[in-house]
Amino acid sequence: MPRLHRGGRWFDPNGAQSNKMMIDINSSNSSKIAIFSLIAANLVPLAGVWFWGWSLLSIILLYWLENGIIGFYNALKMMVIGKWSSWFFVLFFSVHYSIFMLVHLVFIFVLFVLIPGKPITLGPLAIPFASLLLSHGISFFANFISKKEYLNSTAILQLFTPYPRIFVMQLTLILGGTVIMVLGTPVVALMILILLKTALDLHAHNEEHRSSLEMLRAG
């Protein structure tokens, strides 16, 4: 049944509001605080490289750990969407995602430890890891919960949601990291890689929440 647009919200012809359409479509696609926290969290490793000389391997491993954060919040999203009925899909996702992360870790070890033959030197990853965990948590509550994005998904659909985003980002990091390693790991090149990852992350974040908002409008 067609709906009418009034005052930034969608109504059906008899004046009853759809539960889904309680979201103000004039609002931003993503919460401003979520965008700010994403940028701030990604600037922490940039500071680590510039001020404390963090290694390329530290940055690559940090973003590998971020995959785990993304997987954790995706499992929470599946549970919010499907409640108790989603447990099978959450279990399947957890096993499949863990295998994906293990394979990715092997690639990192071979490319950035085994082939170069260099000792493993890591910067302090606790603070940047905590900042990324907080950033994704803010997005989870400010967008997925507060903006009711869970109304427009299913547990099965959510199961596959994180893969395209992390595949593009991690491929960029591995290829860029390989080039930087060949160049001798110049600090400026490493900082450019972090900025590139941040830009890709921000774009993927905005696209994800823009799609959610557009599908909520379509109802």
Is residue 53 within 8 Å of residue 194, measured between CB atoms? no
d(CA 90, CA 70): 14
Whether 193 maps to a domain, the answer reads yes
Q: What percent of the chain has pLDDT over 90?
A: 49
The reply to whether 141 falls in a domain is yes
Question: Which structure tokens are listed for 41?
Answer: 């969290």
Asked if the structure places residue 23 within a domain, the reply is no
b/e per residue, 53-75, with b = 16+ CB within 10 A?
Answer: ebbbbbbbbbbbbbbebbbbbbb
pTM of the model: 0.80
Domains in the chain: how many in total?
Answer: 1
Average pLDDT over residues 129-141: 96
Do the domain assignments include residue 162?
yes
pLDDT in tens, 31-54: 889 999 999 999 999 999 999 888
